Amino acid sequence: MRQEKKVQHVYCVGAKSLGAYGGYETFVYKLTEYHQDNPKIKYHIACKANGDGCMDENKLDHVNRISDNEFEFHNAHCFKISVPQIGAAQAIYYDVAALKACCEHIKKHNIMHPIVYIMACRIGPFAKYFYHKIHKLGGKVYLNPDGHEWMRAKWSKPVRQYWKISEQMMVKYSDLVICDSVNIEKYIHKCYDGKGIRGTNPQTTYIAYGADLTQSKLKDNDEKLLEWYYDKGLTKKNYYLVVGRFVPENSFEIMIREFMKSKSTKDFAIITNVNDKFLNELENKLHFKSDERIKFVGTVYDQELLKKIRENAYAYFHGHTVGGTNPSLIEALGSTDLNLLVDVGFNREVAEECALYWSREAGNLANLINIADEMKKEQIEELGIKAKQRVAAKYTWEKICEQYEHVFVKN
């Protein structure tokens, strides 16, 4: 006997864990947190059991362990998928295995009208198969296409071609494409509306990414903060900051080169997971180690500490050129007063008039840094107020989660 439709079951596939150092990981953490007492929705979250970025539920509070591979957190049913160490292909294996597990769970428990929400366009060749399988089980497939993965500089030409074809197939075999950027939604329609092999006439909606506007619980004299500053050679309001993945498309080469050209007496603190190969490439090109202002300071996973570091920065750089509503940009707008953003459509869409913009042309950012250094305190504070108002109006997690509830429950 099948259940009556009282609760909307949503299966989330694509994040490695809950609450880790990544956009999708933060997203599923916040989504389940905000909806944990919502009787209308039951989440099922796929997590990685092993390898890079895997789920370690021992680091979470109030976990209800079901078995070695299942637990409940925020009232969400979380299940772990073991992944063989097969290089770049493991991401594809992970999503396929997770979707298979979702289908098995739906069938075993007679779940009516489930939604399977796939994040990122990794598994295009399998999209048709799972689309029909999930439909046969009475469900629907929703997709978050992320940004332009096929444009990322880290991929070789054949891999980029795969990403582009995969995106096309996944958009085609989705019931709804949820875009976290207006620009991404426009791109989806530009590429895939119409008839023929490229035309899929996708149904889309726009729901942005969220940010936490609450201030850090740490004080300026907190021992944890002061120790971090002492260890890194930094002081409050005397450093420019960037937080993000250490990949070429995030403009690290341009930001470092231009900062070295600038007249600034402040430091440039770079919080990232350093890739030695890319780091050596930059050193060979720029010789940044000879500039004491350039400081690679490692990663910071303590969210309260990271928030305080953002708040105390003189200014924040954002060089992301690929993607939709980028989490680190919204977090910076919510905590740092002065933001210097690379001038691309995604960033303009999010920040509008709340930030300063730079181009990738030689000398442009260096000149903007010199201007920023001379700005009056009142000017910087005014930009900070505008930025926080912008985030409060458009990008709070409360607002984003309400929009997701509307999309999921109306299914």
By percentage, how much of the chain surpasses pLDDT 90? 67
Q: Which of 47-61, 116-130, 211-225, 394-408 has the lowest mean pLDDT?
A: 47-61
The answer to whether the CB of 298 falls within 8 A of the CB of 179 is: no
pLDDT band at 364 (very low <50, low <70, confident <90, very high): very high
Tell me whether the CATH fold assigned to 8-210+397-409 matches the one assigned to 223-394.
Answer: yes
pLDDT band at 86 (very low <50, low <70, confident <90, very high): confident
The answer to whether the CB of 218 falls within 8 A of the CB of 225 is: yes
Q: Which residues, 6 or more positions from 184, have their beta carbon under 8 angstroms from its beta carbon?
A: 145, 147, 324, 346
The fourth-level CATH superfamily of domain 8-210+397-409 is Glycogen Phosphorylase B; (3.40.50.2000)
Q: pLDDT at residue 302 above 70?
A: yes
pLDDT band at 341 (very low <50, low <70, confident <90, very high): very high
Angle at CA of residue 60, ends 56 and 65, nearest 5°: 75
* pLDDT for 326: 75
* Structure letter (DSSP) for residue 290: G
User: Nearest 5°: phi and psi at 66?
Assistant: -100, -45
> CA–CA separation, 374 vs 98, rounded Å?
52
Q: pLDDT at residue 4 above 50?
A: no
For the chain, give the mean pLDDT.
90
Average pLDDT of span 104-128: 95
pLDDT band at 196 (very low <50, low <70, confident <90, very high): very low
pTM of the model: 0.80
* pLDDT for 321: 81
By percentage, how much of the chain surpasses pLDDT 70? 93
Q: Which of 304, 312, 299 is nearest to 245 (CA)?
A: 299
Q: pLDDT at residue 246 above 90?
A: no
Q: Mind listing the pLDDT tens digit for each residue in 253-262?
A: 999 999 999 9
CATH 3.40.50.2000 fits 223-394, yes or no: yes
* pLDDT for 100: 98
Two structure tokens written together for 69:
């591979």
> CA–CA separation, 21 vs 273, rounded Å?
10
* pLDDT greater at residue 22 or residue 357: 357
* pLDDT for 200: 67
Domain boundaries, the chain: 8-210+397-409, 223-394
Q: pLDDT at residue 197 above 50?
A: no
* pLDDT for 389: 94
* pLDDT for 34: 95
Question: Would you call 364 helix, strand, or coil by DSSP?
Answer: helix
Q: pLDDT at residue 155 above 70?
A: no
| Phi-psi label, residue 132: left if phi above 0, alpha if psi -120 to 50, beta otherwise | alpha
pLDDT band at 303 (very low <50, low <70, confident <90, very high): confident
- Torsion, CA 131, CA 132, CA 133, CA 135, rounded to 10: 90
**407 CA to centre of own chain:** 20
